[in-house]
Amino acid sequence: MQELFDCLDEIYNEIVEVRRYLHQHPELSFKEVKTAEYIANFHRKLGHTTKTKVGGNGVVAYLEGAHSGPTIALRADFDALPIFEQTDLPYKSQNDGVMHACGHDGHTAILLGLAKVLNKFKSELHGTVVFIHQHAEELPPGGAITMIEDGCLDGVDVIFGTHLQAQMPLGEIGYRTGALQAAPDQFNIRIQGRGGHGAYPHQTIDSIAVGSQLISNLQQIISRKVDPLDAAVLSVTSFVAENPYNVIADSAELIGTVRTFKEETRTFIEQEMDRVISGTCSTFGANYEFKYTRGYPTLINHKEETEFIRDIARKVPSVVAVKETEPVMGGEDYAYYLQHVKGTFFFTGAQNPNWKDSYPHHHPRFDIDERALLIAAKILGMATLEYMKNHAKELQV
């Protein structure tokens, strides 16, 4: 594996350049046309069979080894977020209001750098590597499900992926068998009251008062209806009822998210929300509309492949700790891939130890320690070669 590591070390600066170029030119979910072209051209120059517009803006490239063996998929997402970047980086976003604030630029740079290096080992590869470059991870219904429907997993035996974690120390790797990330759902509630003069509240049905009470009542679902040992979150993230100072709002809009790990808990909360909303609005004499939109499923890692990545990570230079991580409430549509083929998804620490402040994902000052790109590439590269080696032997037997 030393040769693989040396080759990755040699192109580290190029991997960083790719990440910085992508960081300067972010595109929103379902609008990643130029990014997809950049990725496709990179693979074409390497001589890889390349498919574009897979399930939308997705790109899939194939590196076929000289020998028969398993087909291994590696996935990276490449969409950005509607955020105004507030960093002073020389490579900050050139697209106002759009920013790579979740590391997807880094994920893509990792995969492209690894594709270039693995291409050098083509004559030694026992199997095929499928590079899945996925669009629209940030915005449900996401890009994974349509890419799968369009055949990106056809013939794939196993899939590996990673996410750079800006608040996990550089050199630390987090893995977990079973549920790693929650199912993220969205809800929209419209409360219809009866507006009127602020001086005469008794002549109105105050939608703000209804909404305020409703928020409090909804929280009781988590604190008093869900088993405390069953992790769940219900957050109202937007409450809009704009009016002049002397007008009681006629209607109010509430938006929020529910996060769960168990499907039965997910269904229970949706049903309880409808019951609580109905009861609260009825008490005040208000009407309502309730829409509950299911997002990605819970991301559930497969045991054998997770333990395989764990053992690989322990052998990679610059990895200082490999830890079993706790589940997180953030969602990931990588979950769809794991519903179709075996595989795992792990976290790569990207927090610079010398930074005074480290900002979380989706923050306008988000950034990563770029040395994490090399660590992740080495883990995915070693995993690819080792998996081929182990399973090519099985095929021979």
Residues with catalytic roles: 79, 137
From CA 150, how far away is CA 171, in angstroms rounded? 36
Instruction: Report d(CA 119, CA 381) in Å as an integer.
Output: 11
Name the residue among 29, 30, 58, 32 with its Cα closest to residue 43.
Answer: 58
Q: Report the SS3 class of residue 31.
A: coil
Which residues lie closer than 8 Å to 3 by C-beta, 6 or more apart?
none
Across the strands, what pairs with 71?
A: 128
Name the CA dihedral angle for 106, 76, 116, 55, rounded to a multiple of 10 degrees.
Answer: -130
Q: Which residues of 155-177 are buried (b: 16+ CB within 10 A; e: fewer)?
A: ebbbbbbbbbbbebbbbbbbbbb
- CB neighbours of 381 closer than 8 A, spacing ≥ 6? 4, 8, 114, 117, 118
CA distances to 140, 166, 226, 270 from 162, in Å: 20, 13, 31, 31
Kind and range of the H or E element at 221? Answer: none
Residue type, 248: I
CA dist 280 and 206 (Å) reads 13
What count of Cα atoms within 13 Å lies in the side-chain half-sphere of residue 283?
A: 12
